[in-house]
């Protein structure tokens, strides 16, 4: 069973070990903070139901998320190739950033070229996260959408004030890419006992494509977020605390010797929930199977020498 003390994605832990403390704090604020007012768009009316996306499809979706783009002629696309693919480059007028859109012939080509690009960078930089974006932009985020990769580059140090400014915009961008380009879906499993309420929020997409040998393949991605609420005063929970979500297809949980920190289980919305990753840290795109709606999670919580277990089922 997976064990971790906080409800975080595994990649998040890897980033934490490899980043300096000041960089880490800024990146957390940008990617995992949920501040400001989210934009609302018509998912059904804006979705792009195409197996192969164009640069125009991506650009329109980015602008629908609330970002204002202008073409940039000062940056040479040839200097930022992934494999032999040159990006379309735009300046983000809402904040000091740049947008790179890479269009590949297929999801398979996207994955192959990106993995080769990442391996080459790691060898050149002796395992660090330095890449072709690093000299100008220290903080580079990426989103995968079918046959494309969208890279957002930030040059300003992500202090708290700056993070509060751009976090809602990056979250809205992630939502637009997830729902409108990746045709993403969400399942919420929920239930409650006498003392606790629980949820597992799962965002996912699933794309099928045929490789150059005629073999049908799929690109599956999901992100699960545990949410827990104590019906009493959480401040009364002291000492050892643990939780475990378990189903027929997966299980995960964590422990904390300092009691229950309710702020860590509130279900805050963030860019990471929709596929945003730090460029160069691990894979991009598919990373998990599509969850069945009839799946049932059993949540077991232990606190103050007490224990409660109850089921969570998908809500309509």
State the DSSP string of 49-63: --SS--HHHHHHHHH
Domain ranges of the chain: 2-181, 185-268+280-314
pLDDT of 209 > 70? The answer is: yes
Q: What is the pLDDT of residue 225?
A: 93
Average pLDDT on 200-208 reads: 92
pLDDT of 44 > 60? The answer is: no
Residues 203, 291: Cα–Cα separation, whole Å: 9
Mean pLDDT of the chain: 84
Task: Mark 81-109 as b/e (b = at least 16 C-beta within 10 Å).
Answer: ebeebbbbbbbbeebebbbbbbbbebbbe
Q: Are 155 and 137 in contact (CB under 8 A)?
A: yes
pLDDT of 18 > 60? The answer is: no
What angle is formed at CA 162 by the lines to CA 160 and CA 167, rounded to 5 degrees?
Answer: 90
Least confident residue range of 1-15, 138-152, 239-253: 1-15
Q: What is the pLDDT of residue 36?
A: 37
Work out the pLDDT band at 268, boundaries 50, 70, 90: confident
The whole-model pTM stands at 0.83
CA dihedral 114, 119, 124, 127 (to 10 degrees): 120
Q: What is the pLDDT of residue 151?
A: 96
Q: What is the pLDDT of residue 24?
A: 45
Residues 64-115 pLDDT 10s: 999 999 998 899 999 999 999 999 999 999 888 999 999 999 999 999 999 9
Least confident residue range of 18-22, 72-76, 90-94, 276-280: 18-22
Give 246-258 as a DSSP string.
E-SS-EEEEEETT
What 3-state DSSP class applies to 39?
coil
pLDDT of 16 > 80? The answer is: no
Structure-block tokens of residue 285: 């795109």
Q: What is the pLDDT of residue 19?
A: 42
H/E stretch holding 227 reads: strand 216-230
Work out the pLDDT band at 175, boundaries 50, 70, 90: very high
Q: What is the pLDDT of residue 14?
A: 40
Average pLDDT on 171-193 reads: 96
Residues 171, 165: Cα–Cα separation, whole Å: 11
Residues 225, 291: Cα–Cα separation, whole Å: 13
Average pLDDT on 25-42 reads: 45
Identify the residue with better confidence: 299 or 42.
Answer: 299
What 3-state DSSP class applies to 198?
strand
CA gyration radius for the chain? 20
């Amino acid at each position: 069973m997976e064990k971790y003390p906080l409800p975080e994605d595994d990649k998040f832990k890897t980033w934490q070990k490899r980043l300096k403390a000041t960089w880490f704090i800024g990146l957390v604020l940008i990617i995992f903070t949920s501040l400001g007012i989210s934009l609302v768009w018509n998912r059904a009316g804006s979705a792009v139901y195409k197996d192969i996306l164009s640069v125009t499809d991506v650009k329109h979706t980015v602008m629908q998320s609330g970002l204002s783009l202008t073409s940039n002629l000062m940056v040479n696309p040839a200097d930022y190739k992934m494999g032999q693919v040159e990006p379309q480059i735009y300046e983000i007028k809402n904040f000091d950033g740049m947008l790179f859109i890479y269009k590949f012939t297929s999801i398979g080509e996207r994955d192959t070229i990106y993995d080769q690009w990442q391996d080459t960078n790691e060898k050149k930089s002796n395992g660090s996260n330095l890449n072709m974006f690093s000299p100008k932009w220290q903080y580079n985020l990426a989103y995968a959408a079918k046959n494309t990769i969208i890279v957002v580059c930030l040059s300003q140090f992500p202090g708290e004030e700056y993070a509060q400014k751009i976090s809602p915009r990056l979250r809205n961008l992630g939502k637009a890419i997830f729902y409108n380009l990746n045709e993403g879906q969400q399942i919420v499993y929920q239930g409650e006992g006498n003392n606790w309420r629980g949820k597992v929020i799962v965002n996912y997409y699933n794309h099928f494509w045929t490789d150059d040998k005629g073999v049908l393949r799929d690109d599956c991605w999901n992100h699960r977020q545990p949410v827990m609420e104590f019906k009493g005063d959480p401040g009364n929970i002291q000492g050892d605390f643990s939780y475990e979500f378990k189903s027929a297809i997966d299980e995960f949980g964590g422990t904390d010797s300092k009691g229950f920190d309710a702020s860590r289980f509130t279900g805050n919305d963030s860019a990471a929930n929709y596929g945003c990753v730090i460029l160069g840290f691990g894979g991009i795109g598919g990373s998990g199977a599509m969850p069945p709606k009839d799946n049932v999670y059993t949540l077991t919580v232990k606190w103050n020498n007490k224990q409660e277990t109850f089921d969570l089922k998908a809500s309509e």
